[in-house]
Structure 1
Amino acid sequence: MPDPIDFYFDFASPYGYFASLRIDELAAAHGRTVTWRPILLGAVFKVTGMKPNLEQPLRGEYLTLDAGRIARLLNAPFTFPDSAPVNGVAASRAFYWLADEHPEQAKLLARALYHAHFAEGRDIGPADTVAEIAARSLGSLGIDRAAVSAALQDQSVKDRLRAATDEAVERGVFGSPFVIVDDEPFWGWDRLEMVDRWLATGGW
């Protein structure tokens, strides 16, 4: 079996959100699976010296235009949250709490968090909000708010997120989304077509 495709993203990234709507389906068409890996771009930016796109002159204004345009292209539910760029620490910790033993549940949670943020405009930064969304989306699987809230304060969960972000930097990840196919890196939502072609042809 070929190795899974690595999908790095930050919950604050609208481009990561758009990629999340398609990446698993794209990979499955080529007989591949996807490992989702949320990271904190704030830590990455300390290495690159960049600022969040929304805080950059001209680029921030373009981002708000571009995100809406992509949403219309995909017919995807979208609203630009007032809380953007959101702090994704709690959301990412909740993901990694589930990911190792229950990767599909973790993906369900990531999708629910992304939807709450970019489709409903909710601020998913507060731990209480993350716990509420997790309980609502995964309650049928026995996940409750108290368990999520406790996990967010667990040192091993905190360390897991930190290690994931450090590993991403070591692999050359510097943005969201960032897809790695068999050590071949692709940055940006608009590179998914290239990823599709790469998988179909074996590269060029």
Structure 2
Amino acid sequence: MADPIDFYFDFASPYGYFASLRIDELARAHGCRVTWHPILLGAIFKVTGMKPNLEQPLRGEYLSHDVGRIARLIGAPFTLPDSAPVNGVAASRAFYWLADDQPEQAKALARALYHAHFAEGRDIGPADTVAEIAVQALAGAVGDRAAVLAALGNPTVKDRLRAETEQAVARGVFGSPFVLVGNEPFWGWDRLDMVDRWLSNGGW
């Protein structure tokens, strides 16, 4: 059986957005199971000493150019939001609220949140916005806006996001997107072709 794929991403990452558009299709092509893991790069940067790309001289300017170029290359709708880099805490908590009992709904919500942020340019940082998107995208699966907001404040959900981020660090994750095929690490949207080749050949 093929190794499972773990897909780590931060909702603030445009490269994570691009990877989210392809990762499941790539996994299906190889008969793999893929598990999505939203994480908080802010917590990881405390370990690595880095800071968001957009806040770095030269690198930030390059990213602003690069993400538009990638979007044109792959035909993805894209707008660099004024709120970038967004705080992804509420979005990530919403995902983990659903992840165990409704994993496909959790993925659908992640896609909807990514689309709202990077295709429509919306600020998905506020909990109210996350709740609105969840209700719109998942209809009756999440209840009403009040139910979503209550879930975002649930201590168990908060602890889950914290634990997932800590586990990511323990596994060597330091950026977004970050893909682990079994224990083989691949960092970056531009490594998905390498992931594809690795799965095709059984490594090299």
Report the TM-score range of the alignment, normalised by the length of the smaller protein: over 0.9
What count of residue pairs does the alignment treat as equivalent? 204
- Tell me, yes or no, if structure 1 residue 175 matches structure 2 residue 175: yes
How far did residue 3 of structure 1 move? 4.2
- Tell me, yes or no, if structure 1 residue 191 matches structure 2 residue 191: yes
Tell me the equivalent position of 1:25: 25
Q: For residue 93 of structure 1, what is the amino acid of its counterpart?
A: R
Q: For residue 82 of structure 1, what is the amino acid of its counterpart?
A: D
| Rounded Cα–Cα distance in structure 2 between residues aligned with 1:121 and 1:187 | 25
C-alpha change, 1:105 and 1:172, in structure 2 (3 Å) is: same
Tell me the equivalent position of 2:126: 126
TM-score normalised to the size of structure 1? 0.98
Tell me the equivalent position of 1:7: 7
| Cα deviations by residue, 1:45-101 (Å, 9 ceiling, x for unpaired) | 000000100000000000000000000001000000000000000000000000011
Tell me the equivalent position of 1:166: 166
| Rounded Cα–Cα distance in structure 2 between residues aligned with 1:184 and 1:145 | 39
How far did residue 144 of structure 1 move? 2.0
C-alpha change, 1:138 and 1:114, in structure 2 (3 Å) is: same
Give the conservation status (yes or no) of the 8 Å contact 1:27–1:33: yes
How far did residue 142 of structure 1 move? 4.8
| Rounded Cα–Cα distance in structure 2 between residues aligned with 1:82 and 1:9 | 20
- Tell me, yes or no, if structure 1 residue 202 matches structure 2 residue 183: no
TM-score normalised to the size of structure 2? 0.98
- Structure 1: gaps of 5 or more residues: none
Tell me the equivalent position of 2:46: 46
Matches within 5 A, 1:31-70: 31-70=31-70
Give the conservation status (yes or no) of the 8 Å contact 2:2–2:32: yes
Q: For residue 17 of structure 1, what is the amino acid of its counterpart?
A: Y
Give the conservation status (yes or no) of the 8 Å contact 1:134–1:143: no
C-alpha change, 1:203 and 1:3, in structure 2 (3 Å) is: closer
| Cα deviations by residue, 1:147-197 (Å, 9 ceiling, x for unpaired) | 110000000000000000000000000000000001000000000000000
| Rounded Cα–Cα distance in structure 2 between residues aligned with 1:3 and 1:91 | 28
Q: For residue 87 of structure 1, what is the amino acid of its counterpart?
A: N
| Rounded Cα–Cα distance in structure 1 between residues aligned with 2:52 and 2:24 | 26
**Secondary structure of residue in 2 paired with 1:63:** helix
| Rounded Cα–Cα distance in structure 1 between residues aligned with 2:97 and 2:142 | 14
| Rounded Cα–Cα distance in structure 2 between residues aligned with 1:145 and 1:139 | 11
Structure 1's consecutive aligned runs of 4 or more residues displaced over 6 angstroms after TM superposition are none
| Rounded Cα–Cα distance in structure 2 between residues aligned with 1:35 and 1:103 | 9
| Rounded Cα–Cα distance in structure 1 between residues aligned with 2:35 and 2:117 | 21
Give the conservation status (yes or no) of the 8 Å contact 2:134–2:142: no
**Secondary structure of residue in 1 paired with 2:35:** strand
**Secondary structure of residue in 2 paired with 1:31:** coil
**Secondary structure of residue in 2 paired with 1:117:** helix
Q: For residue 55 of structure 2, what is the amino acid of its counterpart?
A: E
How far did residue 135 of structure 1 move? 0.2
| Rounded Cα–Cα distance in structure 2 between residues aligned with 1:125 and 1:3 | 34
